[in-house]
Amino acid sequence: MESLAHLEALCERLYNSQDSAERAHAENTLKCFSVNSSYISQCQYILDNASTPYALMLASSSLLKQVTEQRLSLQTRLDIRNYLINYLATRGIDLEPFVTASLIQLFCRVTKYGWFEDDIFREVVKESTRFLNQVMMFKIFNLYCT
């Protein structure tokens, strides 16, 4: 990928183009993010730096596919889980609802697949409370300050 801007343009075409050939080209170009585990860190980079919800959606859906279809190590899944908790707690309120829903689905899938492998996956309520508290504080702030 030449640049993040180019990736964001491809994601825009993937999710919005009316031209099936253009969508297919974008899908083939971006497929590497969902089939190659070496792209997990690039997906996190996209989540941290992209400005369009379509690029965020690509990163989230690619990670979901990785977690579901690849044999990822326990440490990799723990890293993804911890990254998602922090990401949702800090940036979740600013995301488009469809991106937030996709990231929560990813978090649930990582939790489901790790439930019997490590006790940390069972701390889902405690960890997700941080995200929910952030949302509630934002709503209260907006209610009283706008």
**Per-residue pLDDT reduced to its tens digit, 69-114:** 998 999 999 999 999 988 988 888 889 999 999 999 999 899 988 8
Return d(Cα 112, Cα 117) in angstroms, integer.
10
pLDDT at 51 over 80: yes
**Per-residue pLDDT reduced to its tens digit, 16-28:** 999 999 999 999 9
Tokens found for residue 51: 């400005």
**Mean residue pLDDT across the chain:** 87
For the residues 32-44, what does the mean pLDDT come to? Answer: 94
Q: Which residue from 52, 110, 57 is spatially nearest to 83, judged by alpha carbons? A: 110
| DSSP letter string, 26-75 | HHHHHTHHHH-GGGHHHHHHHHHH--SHHHHHHHHHHHHHHHHHS---HH
> Which amino acid, 103?
L
At 95, which helix (H) or strand (E)? none
Supply the pLDDT for residue 139: 60
pLDDT at 118 over 60: yes
pLDDT at 60 over 80: yes
**pTM (2 decimals)?**
0.83
Residue holding tokens 């825009």? Answer: 12
> Which amino acid, 6?
H
Q: Which residue from 86, 62, 89, 66 is spatially nearest to 76, judged by alpha carbons? A: 66
pLDDT at 56 over 50: yes
Supply the pLDDT for residue 123: 81
Top pLDDT among 58 and 137 is at 58
Return d(Cα 32, Cα 47) in angstroms, integer.
16
Q: Which residue from 139, 140, 100, 108 is spatially nearest to 125, judged by alpha carbons? A: 108
Confidence class for position 1, pLDDT limits 50, 70, 90 = very low
